[in-house]
């Protein structure tokens, strides 16, 4: 046999051996890599009403408590959640499934669902303040944290909060309007690579 033929045969054997070895080792190796990796999550927060303020902060704080790396990208009305003082309200307008219940009085009264059409409620001047007050009271009664509390728990747990520079400009905000913990003012091109590497990416 020529030296070349011998070499070809040797390579084929080596390849076969490597294939076999890889099949044996790869599953455990991949599992090890998976187990040692810190899970990560990116959230896009786009809404600034009281009801919509909860999902990003609840998920971010809980993920941080699980030891995950979390980044929240605040854009459009979500930016309002980064203001030093959060003044989020809830509106019945455009919220057709919002239940209307009273957080005080006897139990039968609290359980009663007020059959008021949302459109009617939304049209009453000052009703937004009432609805906001009722929701805050209900949440407090049920032991739910305030949005401010959840935000500070997120910051304490090193949740990274970034603001969308474009919407900051569009709405005429100033960096001074926001909490100093905002780690960056960036655009979509900076957020997407972070989202790409995340195990979970959510739009809220």
Partner 1 sequence: MTVIAEKLDARGMNCPLPILRTRKALNLLESGAILEVITTDPGAVKDMASFCTQTGNRLVSSTEADNSYIFMIEKA
**Site for partner 1, rule CB under 8 A:** 58, 61-62, 65-67, 142-145, 153, 157
Query: Facing residues of 186 across strands?
Result: 164
| 40, two tokens | 């990560």
Dist. CA 204–CA 201, nearest whole Å: 10
What lies within 8 Å, CB to CB, of 150 at 6+ separation is 54, 57, 58, 61
What lies within 8 Å, CB to CB, of 153 at 6+ separation is 61, 145
Dist. CA 187–CA 204, nearest whole Å: 17
Q: Tell me the closest approach of the beta carbon of residue 43 to partner 1, in angstroms.
A: 14
Q: Tell me the closest approach of the beta carbon of residue 145 to partner 1, in angstroms.
A: 5
Q: Tell me the closest approach of the beta carbon of residue 68 to partner 1, in angstroms.
A: 8
- Judged by CB, which is closer to partner 1: 143, or 172? 143
Q: Tell me the closest approach of the beta carbon of residue 204 to partner 1, in angstroms.
A: 15
- Judged by CB, which is closer to partner 1: 154, or 195? 154
- Judged by CB, which is closer to partner 1: 90, or 122? 90
- Judged by CB, which is closer to partner 1: 25, or 66? 66
């Amino acid at each position: 046999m020529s030296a070349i033929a011998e070499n070809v045969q040797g390579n084929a054997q080596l390849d076969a051996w490597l294939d076999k070895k890889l099949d044996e080792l790869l599953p455990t190796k991949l599992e090890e890599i998976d187990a040692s990796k810190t899970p990560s999550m990116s959230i896009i927060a786009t809404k600034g009403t009281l009801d919509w303020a909860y999902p990003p902060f609840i998920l971010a704080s809980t993920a941080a408590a699980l030891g995950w790396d979390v980044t929240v990208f605040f854009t459009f009305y979500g930016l309002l959640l980064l203001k030093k003082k959060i003044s989020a309200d809830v509106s019945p307008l455009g919220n057709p499934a919002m239940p209307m219940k009273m957080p005080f009085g006897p139990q039968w009264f609290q359980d009663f669902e007020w059959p008021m059409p949302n459109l009617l409620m939304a049209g009453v001047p000052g009703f937004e303040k009432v609805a906001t007050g009722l929701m805050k009271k209900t949440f407090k009664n049920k032991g739910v944290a305030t949005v401010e509390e959840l935000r500070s728990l997120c910051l304490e747990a090193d949740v990274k909060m970034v603001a969308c520079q474009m919407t900051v400009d569009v709405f005429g905000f100033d960096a001074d309007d926001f909490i100093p913990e905002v780690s960056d003012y960036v655009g979509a091109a900076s957020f997407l690579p972070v989202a790409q590497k995340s195990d979970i990416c959510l739009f809220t």
